[in-house]
């Protein structure tokens, strides 16, 4: 860290070593749909081990947890899916992703994304009952650059105008002083955003008049300026540095701190206004957060800046531009950067043609092109942490995966009793394409019910563990019983009987090593942990698919069992899977019971007109782990559904350098004559 200062160390103590990024399958959802996601967990080097558990939660506007998932992190990523409760009212929710360790730090350091969810029943009941213009309010908020508005100091002021659903709208208006004199005019674009130059006068209060076609006129107060204090502005970006202007009319001593990716890399003191050159961080792709501290070490201003750089190129092409229903689509992907984690692929017909720019407590930041935009809010909890000096760590690092049930963990759950009232104004302000999507979802639900499809496009297979020896019974002749099958097919297994109880021991075999393991292995039947051999020997021989033995340490640790399976694993998998439910009814626990195991997305079946079951889904394909070759290429295929129209293939991920990579391509589905 360059120019180590005490203030920089105080900020560093409040920054999490871990960061989460999450991508999911659609731009918005209907209640009752399944949301598919992939999360990427990164960590800066420290003496804290990396987390192996990730939490994904859905919160309402009051931060009430509606559901929580607990997922295993493998190789820095975790994939999963959320079945959105059918009773969710239409509104904007928060999709949260965090580790237990990250809960020690401010909430804004967790992954938090606003998520639009619509209730098809509400939309069907209310979308035709449009309110009169006099009853359609506009929502207006103002965000000064760096979250600091100081009297007598010129600043950029963002104006955000939305309707009741938070959708940006075109509007015009003016800011007036207490004498009714117009100080500045503004005009928002179709996203609802405008940026104006504004210099508040000392001891002055301002009001804004706002007009938008089809809405009632609005009058709101502009945030009151501080009579003294500090502010900052990014004047220029070059390939090497940021030029940051410090506004310091009171000649306070200040400290400017820059952090990226959870690491403070620059700090400098001063006591006069002027420009400071802040270098970019060494890590490519990281956004920079600037914090301006006053003489007491408290934050006066905060601003985020994205690096101006050449983004990784991800090209996507299809073998044709137009297809018929149930025809195969072949996609080729090429990236110019070295591949990092596997990419996530979503193919959907949903194309949002609106913007929801309003984020609570947002501040004006700058994008990679140097323009203004509502980027990220001030981290109020971090600001408060600098005041209190809070450093206590109440949440531990979950660096091991809990194979068996453990007390004191944040269990997965769904709040079955969650209820909320319908926001009529929100529903009636939804864009037309969202309304149509909700109505189509209602029809799709009726079709699925008519065909008895409770969950048409997701399956939950029993997860298989890595194995050193696999014996598939279909490859052998018929046996008289399960014990004979075990003895004849598993040469690394020794069966015995002591005090009337059957026991097994594994033979450890490695290059130059052969020894019997000391105790009994962990016994598994379709992922259910059973107490001994008796449950295995009682299985229907004709229903057994395979016996699988694991004893090598690298396989055990790959299965997150190396710290508990000292004597290996004997796993039995059945063909029907019926044994799993019967054993659960007896009170046996499944392996990794306190985690959500991801389902598998079921793609459309081939053959236009040959399927008796119609398939009109909007999400056609989801692949959370598309792996690229060493030269950055990949090819995959899927089949179109019965749904016609324009479809978008969107691929997202992170390169080996940590850069976000996104690509998109389109194709059409038309009825074949």
Give pLDDT tens digits for 430-466: 999 999 999 999 998 888 888 877 666 677 788 899 9
pLDDT exceeds 50 at position 247: yes
Return the pLDDT at 233.
93
Q: Is the pLDDT at 353 greater than 90, yes or no?
A: no
Provide the strand spans (E) within 580-644.
Answer: 600-601, 619-626, 633-639
Higher pLDDT among residues 617 and 341, named by residue: 617
Tally Cβ neighbours within 10 Å of residue 340: 21
Averaged pLDDT for residues 560-575: 94
CA distance 390 to 375: 27
Average pLDDT, the chain: 90
Rounded-to-integer distance, Cα 50 and Cα 47, Å:
9
pLDDT > 80? residue 611 = no
Of residues 283 and 665, more confidence is placed in 665
* Confidence tier at 399 by pLDDT (50, 70, 90): very high
pLDDT of residue 363: 39
And the tokens for 222? 């502009």
Q: Please report the pLDDT score of residue 656 as a whole number.
A: 67
Task: Please check whether residue 149 is in contact with residue 201, taking contact to mean a CB–CB distance below 8 angstroms.
Answer: no
- What whole-number percentage of the chain has pLDDT above 90? 75
Question: Which residue has better confidence, 537 or 657?
Answer: 537
Write out pLDDT tens, residues 23-45. 999 999 999 999 999 999 999 88
Helix (H, G, I), strand (E, B) or coil at 384: helix
pLDDT of residue 358: 62
- The length of the chain is 673
Read off the pLDDT of each residue in 176-197 and give the average, rounded to a whole number.
Answer: 95
Q: In what order do the strands lie in the sheet with 18-24?
A: 18-24, 34-43, 77-83
Judge whether 653 and 342 are in contact, CB under 8 Å.
Answer: yes
Pair of tokens at residue 571: 């796993």
Higher pLDDT, 215 or 659: 215
Residue 359 has pLDDT above 80, yes or no: no
Cα–Cα distance, 411 to 406 (Å, whole number) = 10
pLDDT confidence band for 632 (50 / 70 / 90)? confident
Domains and CATH numbers, the chain: 6-129+355-456 (2.60.40.1930), 314-351+600-669 (2.60.40.1930), 469-585 (2.170.130)
Mean pLDDT of 257-278: 94
667, pLDDT greater than 80: yes
Question: How far apart are the C-alpha atoms of 640 and 328, rounded to whole Å?
Answer: 6
Residues 6+ positions from 507 with CB-CB distance below 8 Å: 491, 492, 493, 494, 514, 515, 516, 517, 551
**Long-range own/partner contacts, residues 384-390 (CB < 8 A, 24 or more apart):** 385/14, 385/106, 386/10, 386/11, 386/14, 386/293, 386/297, 386/298, 386/299, 387/298, 389/10, 390/14
pLDDT at residue 1 above 50? no
Give one DSSP letter per residue of 106-168, joined into a string.
-GGGSEEEEEEEE-HHHHHHHTT-PPPGGG---EEEEEEBTT--BTT--EEEEEEEE-TTS-B
What φ, ψ does residue 66 adopt, rounded to 5°?
Answer: -90, -40
- Comparison of pLDDT for 643 and 389, the residue scoring more: 643
Mean pLDDT of 413-419: 92
The pair of three-digit structure tokens given for residue 8, joined into one six-digit string? 């920089």
pTM to 2 decimal places: 0.92
> What is the rounded average pLDDT of the residues 327-341?
85
Residue 285 pLDDT greater than 80, yes or no: no
The token duo for 126 is: 């209310």
> With 60 as the cut, is the pLDDT of residue 368 above it?
no
Per-residue pLDDT band for 362 (boundaries 50, 70, 90) equals very low
> With pLDDT > 70 as the criterion, what percentage of the chain qualifies?
93
Residue 150 has pLDDT above 60, yes or no: yes
pLDDT class of 120 with cuts at 50, 70, 90: very high
Q: What is the pLDDT of residue 377?
A: 64
**Joined tokens for residue 418:** 């969650």
CA distance linking residue 212 with residue 232, whole number of Å: 32
Q: What is the pLDDT of residue 452?
A: 76
Phi and psi angles of residue 242, each rounded to the nearest 5 degrees, phi first = -105, 140
Average pLDDT over residues 470-490: 94
Res 557: pLDDT:
93
Identify the band that residue 372 occupies on the pLDDT scale cut at 50, 70 and 90. Answer: very low
Instruction: Taking residues 471-483, report their average pLDDT.
Output: 94
Task: Give the pLDDT confidence of 189-232 residue by residue, as tens digits.
Answer: 999 999 999 999 999 999 999 999 999 999 999 999 999 999 99
């Amino acid at each position: 860290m360059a120019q180590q200062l005490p203030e920089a160390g105080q900020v560093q103590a409040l920054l999490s070593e871990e960061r989460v990024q999450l991508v999911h399958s659609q731009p918005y959802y209907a209640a009752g749909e399944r949301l598919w996601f992939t999360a990427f967990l990164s960590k800066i080097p420290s003496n804290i081990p990396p987390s192996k558990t990730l939490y994904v939660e859905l919160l309402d506007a009051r931060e009430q947890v509606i559901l929580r998932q607990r997922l295993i992190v493998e190789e820095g990523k975790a994939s999963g899916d959320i079945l959105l409760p059918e009773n969710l009212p239409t509104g904007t929710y928060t999709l949260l992703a965090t580790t237990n360790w990250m809960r020690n730090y401010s909430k804004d350091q967790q992954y938090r994304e606003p998520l639009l969810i619509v209730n098809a029943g509400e939309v069907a009941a209310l979308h035709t009952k449009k309110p009169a213009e006099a009853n359609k309010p506009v929502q207006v908020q103002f965000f000064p650059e760096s979250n600091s508005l100081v009297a007598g100091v010129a600043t950029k002021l963002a104006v955000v105008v939305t309707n009741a659903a938070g959708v940006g709208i075109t509007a015009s208006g003016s800011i007036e002083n207490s004498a009714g004199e117009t100080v500045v005019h503004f005009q928002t674009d179709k996203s609802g955003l405008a940026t104006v130059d504004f210099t508040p006068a000392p001891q002055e209060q301002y009001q804004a008049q706002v007009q938008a076609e089809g809405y009632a006129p609005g009058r709101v107060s502009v945030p009151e300026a501080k009579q003294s204090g500090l502010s900052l502005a990014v004047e220029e970006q070059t390939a090497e540095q940021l030029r940051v202007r410090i506004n310091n009319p009171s000649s306070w001593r200040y400290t400017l701190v820059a952090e990226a990716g959870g690491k403070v890399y620059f700090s400098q003191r001063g006591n006069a206004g002027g420009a400071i050159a802040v270098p970019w961080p060494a890590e490519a792709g990281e956004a920079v957060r600037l914090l301006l501290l006053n003489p007491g070490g408290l934050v006066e201003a905060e601003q985020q800046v994205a690096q101006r750089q050449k983004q990784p190129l991800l090209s996507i092409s299809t073998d044709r531009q137009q297809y018929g229903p149930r025809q195969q689509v072949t996609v080729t992907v090429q990236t110019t950067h070295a591949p990092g984690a596997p990419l996530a692929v979503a193919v959907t017909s949903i194309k949002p043609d609106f913007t929801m720019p309003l984020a609570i407590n947002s501040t004006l930041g700058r994008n990679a092109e140097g323009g203004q935009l509502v980027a990220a809010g001030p981290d109020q909890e971090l600001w408060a942490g600098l005041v209190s000096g809070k450093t206590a760590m109440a949440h531990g690092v979950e660096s091991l995966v809990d194979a068996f049930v453990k007390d004191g963990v944040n269990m997965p759950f769904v709040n079955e009793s969650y209820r909320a009232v319908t926001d009529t104004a929100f529903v009636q302000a939804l864009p037309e394409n969202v309304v149509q999507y909700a109505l189509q979802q209602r029809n799709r639900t009726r079709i699925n019910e008519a065909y008895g499809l409770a969950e048409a496009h997701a399956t939950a297979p029993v997860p298989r563990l890595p194995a050193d020896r696999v014996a598939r019974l279909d490859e052998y002749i018929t046996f008289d019983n399960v014990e004979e099958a075990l003895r004849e097919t598993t040469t690394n297994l020794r069966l015995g009987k002591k005090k009337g109880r059957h026991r097994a021991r594994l033979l450890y075999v490695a290059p130059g090593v052969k020894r019997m393991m000391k105790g009994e292995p962990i016994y598994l039947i379709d992922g259910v942990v059973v107490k001994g051999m008796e449950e295995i020997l009682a299985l229907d021989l004709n229903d057994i698919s395979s016996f699988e033995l694991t004893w090598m340490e690298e396989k055990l640790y790959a299965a997150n069992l190396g710290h508990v399976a000292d004597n290996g694993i004997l796993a039995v998998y059945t063909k029907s899977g019926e044994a799993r439910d019967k054993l659960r009814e007896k009170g046996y626990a499944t392996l990794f019971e306190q985690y959500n195991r991801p389902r598998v997305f079921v793609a459309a079946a081939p053959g236009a007109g040959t399927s008796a079951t119609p398939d009109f889904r909007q999400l056609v394909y989801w692949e959370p782990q598309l792996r690229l070759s060493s030269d950055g290429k990949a090819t995959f295929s899927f089949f179109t559904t019965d749904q016609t129209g324009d479809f978008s293939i969107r691929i997202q991920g992170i390169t080996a350098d940590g850069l976000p990579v996104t690509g998109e391509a389109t194709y059409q589905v038309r009825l074949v004559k």
